[in-house]
Amino acid sequence: MSQSTIVGLEKLYYAKLTSDERGGLIAYDAPIYLDNVKEISINPKQNTEKGYGGNKLVLQMTTLDEIEVGINLLTLTNAQKADLLGHKLAAEGGVISKSDDIAPYVALLYLANKSNGEKRYGILYKGKMQLPEGGAKGQEGKAEIQSNEMKAIFQPLSDGTWQYQVDTDDPNCPATIDTTFFTDVLIPTEASEGTVV
């Protein structure tokens, strides 16, 4: 795979997780497109326990704690907001937020652009969106475009998988990825030993 830098973010989808059984079925609803994405940030947090003996570090045990994710969208519909946060739509229009609303587990699927003209596809598999901060700001002599920022905490699936990424210049990247990646949530299979290119 050639070395290159991510230079843009083109698409973002979410899909609701419907089944995550240990040793069993992992399933999602069909992905839903989120228009006008500006940014996605992915910040994994790890815990490391250190063991010392003979006045030196002899052992490290590292575990994944959580993955902090942020998304920034220029537009977000009321229906999408309600769906992501477990709110209800009102018959009179708008969104009803209640204290006992429960956000569903979702996957996030995205497409980023690389500096060499290739693309990177990625999936984060299991997370819950958090309530966004609200408010509005008045114009101060010029128009100010205010976007929708949302944060989420992601975690691994029951099989331990938390993320998948593939670049179109990866030798094993499926030839049909441009037309199939966002049709459902791909659960990749591990390559056999000795197949690393």
pLDDT in tens, the chain (197 residues): 456 789 999 999 999 999 999 888 999 999 999 999 999 999 999 998 999 998 899 899 988 999 999 999 999 999 999 999 999 999 999 999 999 999 999 999 999 999 999 999 999 999 999 998 765 566 666 666 678 899 999 999 999 999 999 999 999 999 999 999 999 999 999 888 765 55
Residue (of 40, 89, 73, 66) closest to 148 by Cα position: 73
CA neighbor of 80 nearest in space, from 160, 162, 11, 16 = 16
In terms of residues, how long is the chain?
197
The residue with tokens 């204290």 is 99
Residue 24's pLDDT is 85
pLDDT at res. 104: 98
Q: What is the reported pLDDT for 142?
A: 67
- Tell me which residue range forms the domain holding 113: 6-47+56-134+144-171
DSSP code for 172: T
Is 184 a member of any domain? Answer: no
The answer as to whether 195 is a domain residue is: no
So what's the pLDDT on residue 133? Answer: 78
- Measure CA 55 to chain center: 42
Give the pLDDT of residue 118: 95
Q: What is the dihedral angle through the alpha carbons of 167, 169, 171, 176, rounded to the nearest 10 degrees?
A: 70
In a domain, 197, yes or no: no
d(CA 151, CA 129): 6
105: in domain: yes
The residue ranges of DSSP E strands in 29-170, in sequence order, are 32-34, 37-53, 56-73, 88-89, 95-96, 106-114, 119-129, 148-154, 163-167
pLDDT at site 156: 96
Task: Extract the tokens encoding 81.
Answer: 């907001």
> In this structure, is residue 180 part of a structural domain?
no
- The pLDDT value recorded for residue 146 is 72
Please give the helix or strand (H or E) that residue 13 lies within, else none. strand 6-20
Does residue 88 fall inside a structural domain? Answer: yes
Contacts of 87 (CB under 8 A, 6+ apart): 81, 95, 96, 97, 98, 101
For residue 139, is it within any domain? no
In a domain, 73, yes or no: yes
pLDDT at 1: 44
Domains contained in the chain, number: 1
